[in-house]
Structure 1
Amino acid sequence: MENDKRHISFSPQNAILWYSVIAGVFSACFIAFVLLYIERQERAHIDRVTQSTADGIKTVLEEDIYRRMESLTEFAKLSETSNIMSDNEWDLLSKALYYSKQGYHSIVWVDSSFHVLRRMPIEGSETAIDFDLASQPMALLAKLKYQQQNSKVIAVPLTSINGNRGLGIYVPVLNKTLTSKKVEGFIVNVLLFDPYIKSVLPTYLLAEYKLTLFIDDQKVYSDQTKHPPTSGTWDRQAAFEILGQRWQVNLVPNNEFRPFILFRMFSLLIVLGILLSIFITLAVYTLMSARNKTKLTKDDRKKTEQLLKNLPGMAYQASNRTNRPMIFVSEGCTLLTGYSKKQFEKQNILWGKLIHPDDDERVCRTINQALKTKHLFELEYRIITKNNDVRLVLERGEPVSSIINDEFIIEGFIADITSIKQAEVDLLQSYAFSQAIVNSVVEAVITINNKGLILSFNDAAQKMFGYTFSEVKDKNVKTLIPRSYNEHHDQYLAQYKRTNKTHIIGTGRELVAKRKDGTTFPIHLSVSEIPNHEEKMYVELIRDITQQRVLEDEASSHIEQMAHADRLNALGEMAAGIAHEINQPLTAISLFSQTAKNFCEIGKFERLPELFDKISQQSLRAGSVLERVQMMTRQGDRSKEVLDSNMLIDEVKKLAESEARLRDIKIQLLPCHQKKNVFVDRVQIQQVILNLLRNGMEAMQSIDCKNGAIIKLQIKLQIKIKADNYIKILVIDTGCGIPNSMINELFTPFSTTKKNGTGIGLSISKSIVEEHGGHIHFSKNKPAGAIFYFTLPIHEEGIPNDK
């Protein structure tokens, strides 16, 4: 198949197509390159012209402003030499200056108090006479700049009386003496930007470009309101400085679309070139396709023959005559009948002669009926092969009109189905065998589909539920479940189909079933999925556990009675321990009472309430110990509750703090960083921790706390893979430690390292911890001391820990 695929992929027809596409791609790339080159040259040309024009405008404006300032300076010098200039002299000189260059809005004489005394031109500006420029911030700023720079000043922006924007050139008129210079006033040249730009720059330049003028980054002129820019791509700048002010000219070509006329012409040529290349490609493709047409036809014929050869059967064309002589047969005829393709096509072998005599009449009748109705036919019959073997075949065919004459011929396909029929027989036998096995088991076996409808119901199920198969067939299986459970059954199926997460499917579960008469009974249900390519199916295996429940209840009652007897037997062992446990709170009560007496003698009565509270706590603790001992003699559950493990050890620390202070020892609490709950008897577990703390403090006090006066109470998490998770409660002291000879006997009754000890405390603690599902251990603390710790199972929400 890989060789066939490779041959098809690189056939001449596909090669022609690929060569044509590659030629077109190269042509498109070349045309795109030319297009980009032309566009780049046009853009470079526009950039150069625009930048050159901007530089020229900069030069024109710079030179013009300097010339105007020189003219004003000469005017101001004449005013200085003549001291008092008459109106006629002012008119003559200012008129000569005003008309010498275009673009002046006005030339003004301002006195030292910034009042306008004279103005050129006079017509239309009579209201400006005696105008107070002191109200203009820019005028005052010009005077301040002059005083700082002692030179000519340009002030922008300036708003004229008629509201237009411009600039003012202030040239001071000085009264010079031998010792000083005094400003008598200013000659002010007012240029409004709009008429000034139009008078200085050529008209054709303003028509071809959009000009924007900035002074100290402030836009003072723009003609883009009349001619909005077509694009910001061609924006070019030129800048210069005059009297410390930065002037910037921004220029955008107004007719940038004109260079693209040439581009459009080239685009038209490129399109024509593309069309021409496509035409040549199609012509070459057609020519090469015509040359390969014959070869492809031969290849297709060979492929068809190879395909028919690989089919598991025989394709044929037969004449509509007696015994159906074959016009064409595929190579599969040899495997099917033992006769060769040549023998059939030369009509040495007639197909009708191979049909089993018992089936010949039925086959002829079916084919004749198909010829009359011009419809497809399909039938199964037997043939006798060359080796005299009998084979069962399936034939599908139809009558078609011959292209040679008007007669009908028969075309079709014949396949050997002997093995398939045998497989069907074997399958039926296997099914009957499996049904016999299913009906022989004692558990109920029920098959359901993905909608929960019952498909099979074995004999054990009929006996267990009282239904016959016909009564429950195609009914939902929740019919067999009480109402309180059956609403969840469909939800479980839907959840499994949606998420493939098991709830009941794939696991076992105990629940309650309902018989036909309405009675209920406990069952164990396990559901398994049957792989099926069409739809999911499930098998439910149901076992009646009524008798099992009775036996379990009897065993549970027997175990409880044995446990009760064990507790009574252990009570004798714990008698000495009771004295030990009661003696501890009594000792504390005695110490607190003696301390209270001493405080009374020295007059510290304010400390008595605290001591009385502690005496009361120890009394209650002694009572709780007795109460727990009494509970051990009674049958039934202990008084357990869910507690936060950190809170549990914090309460113990508070109970032991007073005793620790008497021993000059500090209890260091190291809680768990995560909140974990335990299901315990609060008093019993606290009694275990208190016992371990007292033992540790006594061991530290026996060596005068030479290794430190801190005993640690710590909680750790103990995570196990594929097992229950635990918390570990540790009591870590720095005392004298445990002798090696005593390590193996630590938790046995009446073994102790203390002179006055009973040896029962650790034994009781071990019993309490193990009753809660944990274990108690010992290890050495390096460099000195001992570590006693025990474990408790972590309580998970919704899962009872009481074992």
Structure 2
Amino acid sequence: MESDKWRISFSPQVAILWYSVIAGIFSASLIAFIVLYIETQERAHIDRVTQSVADGIKTLLEEDIHRRMVSLTEFSGVSAISNNMSDDEWELLSKSLYYSKQGYHSIGWLDSSFNVRRILPIEGNETSVDFDLAFQPLALLSELKSQQQKSAVITVPLNSLEGKLGLGIYVPVLKTTPSSRKIEGFIVSVILFDPYIKSVLPTYLIAEHKLTLFIDEQKVYSDQINQSYISNASNRQTSFEIMGQRWQVNLMPNSEFRPFTLFRMFSLLIVLGILLSFFITLAVYTLMSARNKTKLTKDDLKKTAQLLKNLPGMAYQAFNRTNRPMIFVSEGCKLLTGHSKKQFEKHNILWGKLIHPRDYQRVCQTINHALKTNRLFELEYRIITKNNDVRLIWERGEPVSSIVNDDFIIEGFITDITSIKQAEVDLLQSYAFSEAIVDSVVDAVITINNNGQIQSFNNTAQNMFGYSFDEVKDINVKILMPQPYSDHHDQYLAQYIVTNETHIIGNGRELVAKRKDGTTFPIHLSVSEIHNNEKKMFVGVIKDITQQRTLENEAISHIEQMAHADRLNALGEMAAGIAHEINQPLTAISLFSQTGKNFSEKGKFERLPEIFEKISLHARRAGSVLERVQLMTRQGDRSKEVIASTILIDEVKKLAESEARLCDISIQLLTCKENTNVFVDRVQIQQVILNLLRNGMEAMQSIACKNGALIKLQIRINAENNVEISVVDTGGGIPKTMIDTLFTPFSTTKKNGTGIGLSISKSIVEEHGGHIHFSDNKPAGAIFYFTLPIHEEGIPNDK
């Protein structure tokens, strides 16, 4: 930890700069060491410099003679050179050669009889015109050699007509025929050593040395300036061959060369050291920066490749050519087309060949238009994959200027939208199906947005209210409400959107509605909220209960008349019990049917099988009740079975859960660990439990569940070793005036109750050898419980 305290953290750029400075300092130190070392190698340096100058002179002379021979050879090959060449043509060609290289004394043309016919320059060479080489044996020998070899030759050193030492270069002029090569003459150039050396060798190169030149051991040139020279130990020479002639260069440094050279060398080395240190520092900095950038670039390329790999489609670059050969494609091409990245990039597979023939022309027109206008393009079309599957794809691209040429390339992205398009078709079909269902239901179905504006209005709603859909579309739904409901609707809706506090939403409620003609009628309204990401929607299901109200009024009147009749005999009680028992499963069937309809409207079709199963279960339960009633009217054994009481109440809980959810009430199941098997008629006992649960939930709902929304269904072993099943609610409790008559027929606290549920439940429990009781639930609510004997193995508990 102590060492970490002194550790300095640098950014990558600062670290690279420090490394570069260190490298520069190291290189400067190395240069200083070299300078000191070179001081001890003074003589070796002079020798090397002298030898280097000699080698340089050798190279310059070799290259110059070679270039002159090449240019003369090219000159001889000009097809226009012939005996018929005009003087103007000769002068033009020879001047271009003469002035292209300094050092020529003259350039002439000799005919095949070795006579000089033309010469440049004429001034100073008048005596050479029509000169016969027979009078110059050495030159004649060279020309004969050139004639025999049919190639260029150089004469041995000879004296010119002016008496100056020089040499000549002879190049034959050949006329090529299909059968032979004939010499028509020679191009000859004369070089005098004194002006030639001064023109070829820079003055600064030999200013500090004495130069002596030998050809075939004959001295042809010597620097005659009187200077003092260093001892012979510093003399250097070099030799080379040109066209069979041995040239030798001797070089001797003068006495002023040593200190001047050393001073210049040290100065040069110091400057070079500084420059080298700077360049090394710069090179190290550049190299390390490049490596860092390369690393970052590779990392970016890796991330880009990973990003392209994870894209749900194929990114591409393509040439603007027929069938769009690909420059680059991402890995997604394999999943999209079945063809590999390598096949596309090697042009084994061309994208245009995959386009469906019926879409090809449209695709080409769209892309060509985008190229002409230099704009983005988007289109959908079909392709044929490797497995001959037809897929619908979406492509977006744009033309981009190529850095290689002036043409455009195409860059873009392609993805498979087959499943999306199929989903859209399915969605449209589902929507049409849902609309058909909504239009066919017997209840009015209306949807509104969060501003209360009507968005849908099914056929039943149109018949019920007298409006067509066009008349109410985007109109506030309060047009269907009489006062005072219409006055408070907007305020209620706004308050719900802000607080989510509900009064009608999620609960059924009886209200009054208004038709187009202004008449009002009673309705039952249930409202559900549709959740989506953009805005809230609400669905209202409206049932016209005018006839139901009429029937209820008639039923009330009839019951009042029956209250005065003396028909409370056993048969009447049984009939009422049958109606009560049948009404419970029928009510459940109605609730589940309503739930199934809501699920259909919301598109939750996967929940319908479960709803249908529960409807079927309650229908069978109604049939079982009728069967049990028939058994009660005659003697004989009833349908009893041994069953665990936990299974008994668990099935009841499942039956009652949907109704509980509609009331926003939760059912809590409490069981015991002991063996609680009972010998009972399953349907009758479950009917008792279901009746007690519904009574409890109705009691809790009547006070808006202000004491809580939890009802308990409990099973335990009591002190008498009997199974005790209890329902604990948090409703308003039982009035003291009703306690004595609670289990007698037609005794009820409900406004629309018949008062026979508890009476029938008491009869069923007592028939099974048990008892039903009531107690207050502190601090609020009621507890209804009944007992059943525990079934002992092998001993039927039937009385």
TM range (shorter): 0.3 to 0.5
TM-score, normalised relative to structure 2: 0.37
